[in-house]
């Protein structure tokens, strides 16, 4: 399935008036995980600005112990501070990387903004080195804009 088809399907999920926010986010994770071969773990983290931590939201993939991540720690924590996309072609080259699994080879994290505030992010891991392209990045940026409308 191409990103244009996925964009249409994620839009359908996110505008479904029957599901609550977490159900919608989980359905998006399931759709991406199932239809993009290099998306081996797909999940959302949400910021608690008072405690300067990220909290795991809906996700699909291997279980993770990283349910709370301090701002600045790991790829997700760095995005919480930088407010910018972060694509890691090879996680073994990152000194500030939190290893979720030895099978993870690359990662992409895109922040979600509401009223200019970084409220969370979508985090995707791949078992393939250098898995993510600018097409992935653009698609996920568009997705996070749509996700932000749920908040």
pLDDT in tens, 52-94: 999 999 999 999 999 999 999 999 999 999 999 999 999 888 8
Of all residues in the chain, the percent with pLDDT exceeding 90 is: 87
Q: What is the pLDDT of residue 99?
A: 65
Least-confidence region, from 84-93, 95-104, 126-135: 95-104
- What tokens appear for 144 in the block? 């996070």
Cα gap 150→27, rounded to integer Å: 14
User: Looking at the 3D structure of the chain, how many domains does it have?
Assistant: 1
Neighbours of 138 (CB within 10 A): 12
Measured in residues, the chain has a length of 151
Mean pLDDT to the nearest integer, 21-48: 98
Listing from the earlier edge strand, what are the strands of the sheet with 106-114? 68-70, 53-60, 41-48, 117-126, 106-114, 86-88
Single pTM value for the model: 0.95
Q: Which domain holds residue 93?
A: 3-148
- The CATH number of residue 92's host domain is 3.30.450.40
Taking only the tens place, the pLDDT of each residue in 36-50 is: 999 999 999 999 999
């Amino acid at each position: 399935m191409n990103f244009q088809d996925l964009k249409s399907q994620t839009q359908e999920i996110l505008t479904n008036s029957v599901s609550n926010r977490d159900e919608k986010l989980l359905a998006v994770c399931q759709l991406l995980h199932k239809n993009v071969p290099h998306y081996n773990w797909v999940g959302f983290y949400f910021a608690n600005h008072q405690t300067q931590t990220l909290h795991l939201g809906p996700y699909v993939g291997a279980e993770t112990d990283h349910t709370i991540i301090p701002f600045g720690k790991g790829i997700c924590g760095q995005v919480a501070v930088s407010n910018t996309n972060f694509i890691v072609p090879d996680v073994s080259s990152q000194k500030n990387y939190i290893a979720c699994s030895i099978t993870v080879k690359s990662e992409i994290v895109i922040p979600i903004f509401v009223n200019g505030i970084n409220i969370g992010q979508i985090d995707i891991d791949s078992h393939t080195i250098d898995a993510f392209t600018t097409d992935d990045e653009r698609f996920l940026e568009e997705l996070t804009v749509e996700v932000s409308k749920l908040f």
